[in-house]
Amino acid sequence: MPDRPHPSVFDLTPLNPAFNDDPHALLDQLRRECPVHRDETAGTFVLTRYADVRGVLSESSMWRHPSRAEPAAMIQRRLVGEKIEGLQVPEDEAGASILFLDDPDHARIREPLAKALYKRVAKCRPLVTKVVTGKLDALEGRAEFDAMNDFALQVPIDAIARILGVDEHRLMEFRSWSEGAILSLNPFRTPEQTAALVAAINALSAYFRELMTARRRTPRDDLVSDMVQLQAEGAPLGDGEISNNLQGLLIGGNLTTTDLIGNAIWLLLTHPDQLTRLKAEPALINSAVEEVLRYESPVDVTSRIAPRDTEVGGCPVKQAQSLFMSLRGANRDPDTFPDPHRFDIARKDAPHVAFGGGTHLCIGSPLARLEAQVALPLFFARFPSLRLADPEARPRWRNLPFFRGLKELPVAV
């Protein structure tokens, strides 16, 4: 038996400076000593072994809706219990997000949304290239810049705005609402941040209804038009469900894809042999992006709820108990990934779980991959001698629970 207690879910967030500094010291310890760990303080199991995480994700009968979790599952219960003052979104939007729905509603909404989104993403490489090139042009002539705020943060919002069909003259407003809406991911918001969040969500909700009405009248070549068109053709979708889930694409995709691009730039600058190899063999870009997703996953965890008494990794789990899956921990499991703490852009057969899996597999994964695959080669081609502005400085990771990305990434041209 180990002589120290196992870390709780709270210790496994960047609010714990040791985890923020090196998450894998704690995750490796937990995987070695107790891969299916019952954390009584948070009322959940924490899984760190790849086989267990993959097994639970693949099981489509697992529940997702937080209200189905036992009362002890405090993090899940808080998601449904939290009432935010001042929100003025129409009633039919509440609780409609596929992120937390179970079947049949999950499949009913996700299927038409995925169909429309994947069709758009399949043809949006030129659009993403244009967005990236515009951001790089704006950096021309700078001797130093912040690769996070001046580049990685800028690409995903503009890409999704254009896919959705946000009007050109509303782009500035839309960007600021998007940044406000991302605060919904921060459970430790200040009152000022909550006010900014409320204002952003109210504005977004009103704007999406406006867009839906406009596109019903005059369809355009965009995702809002696709969704109202599918609804008109008989897809069983309410207006609130369309609006909520289009906003979900925005909120789910911005910070995560920003962090994928930012983590990739940082990893390549701190592993110059890998950057040199990527430049010499551009065809490695897809496996390089997969390795960044595995090695420095933007999202820490996802969760499920046991739909019946069952067993996970040999441990009994009761109906309604919560299962937190450490995607970060699973992605560095030595039983699945040889030499897991080595960053290797040519790694083969590395089926990471950075996008979760099963029926809830990230719906935005094709778009996130495309953005990174387009952005990184163009970025490094534009700044061939790029280096960290201060090579000795320690990376400054954000301390938003369950996400991993840099606060800033100062670079010199």
Q: Which of 13, 184, 302, 322 binds ligand HEM (CB under 6 A)?
A: 302
Question: Number of helices and strands (H, E) in the chain?
Answer: 15, 9
What are the DSSP E strand ranges found in 113-204?
144-146
Stretch that binds ligand HEM, among 26-34, 48-56, 69-77, 255-263 (CB under 6 A): 255-263
Stretch that binds ligand HEM, among 24-32, 203-211, 246-254, 342-350 (CB under 6 A): 246-254
The smaller minimum CB distance to ligand HEM, of residues 160 and 306, is found at 160
**CA angle 212-196-155, nearest 5°?**
65
Give phi and psi for 101, each to the nearest 5: -90, 155
Which residue is listed with tokens 């009362």?
71
The smaller minimum CB distance to ligand HEM, of residues 150 and 300, is found at 300
362 near ligand HEM, judged by CB under 6 A: yes
Nearest approach in angstroms of CB 397 to ligand HEM is: 16
Q: What's the residue count for the chain?
A: 413
Q: Which of 205, 231, 247, 256 binds ligand HEM (CB under 6 A)?
A: 256
Stretch that binds ligand HEM, among 12-20, 22-30, 296-304, 311-319 (CB under 6 A): 296-304
247 near ligand HEM, judged by CB under 6 A: no
Q: Which of 23, 66, 180, 298 binds ligand HEM (CB under 6 A)?
A: 298
Residue 314 Cα to chain centre, angstroms? 30
257 near ligand HEM, judged by CB under 6 A: yes
331 near ligand HEM, judged by CB under 6 A: no
Nearest approach in angstroms of CB 135 to ligand HEM is: 17
As a whole number of angstroms, the distance between CA 107 and CA 369 comes to: 23
Alpha carbon of 92 to those of 100, 114, 163, 237: distances in Å?
Answer: 15, 21, 24, 11
Q: Which of 252, 329, 401, 405 binds ligand HEM (CB under 6 A)?
A: 252
Q: Residue 307 carries which DSSP code?
A: S
The smaller minimum CB distance to ligand HEM, of residues 6 and 307, is found at 307
DSSP β-bridge partners for residue 41: none
Q: Which of 361, 378, 388, 413 binds ligand HEM (CB under 6 A)?
A: 361
Q: Which of 355, 379, 383, 397 binds ligand HEM (CB under 6 A)?
A: 355
**Residues near 370 by Cβ (< 8 Å), separated by ≥ 6?**
121, 124, 125, 128
Nearest approach in angstroms of CB 55 to ligand HEM is: 13
Q: Which of residues 194-233 bind ligand HEM (CB under 6 A)?
A: none
Nearest approach in angstroms of CB 359 to ligand HEM is: 7
98 near ligand HEM, judged by CB under 6 A: yes
Which residue is listed with tokens 């069709």?
119
As a whole number of angstroms, the distance between CA 253 and CA 363 comes to: 9
Give phi and psi for 62, each to the nearest 5: -60, 145
Nearest in space to 389 (alpha carbons), one of 186, 157, 150: 150
As a whole number of angstroms, the distance between CA 48 and CA 302 comes to: 12
Residue 225's SS3 state is helix
Which residue is listed with tokens 């309410």?
238
Nearest approach in angstroms of CB 227 to ligand HEM is: 13
Nearest approach in angstroms of CB 113 to ligand HEM is: 8
Applying CB under 6 A, the residues found at the interface with ligand HEM are 57, 98-99, 110, 160, 248-249, 252-253, 256-257, 260, 298-299, 302, 327, 354-358, 360-364, 367-368
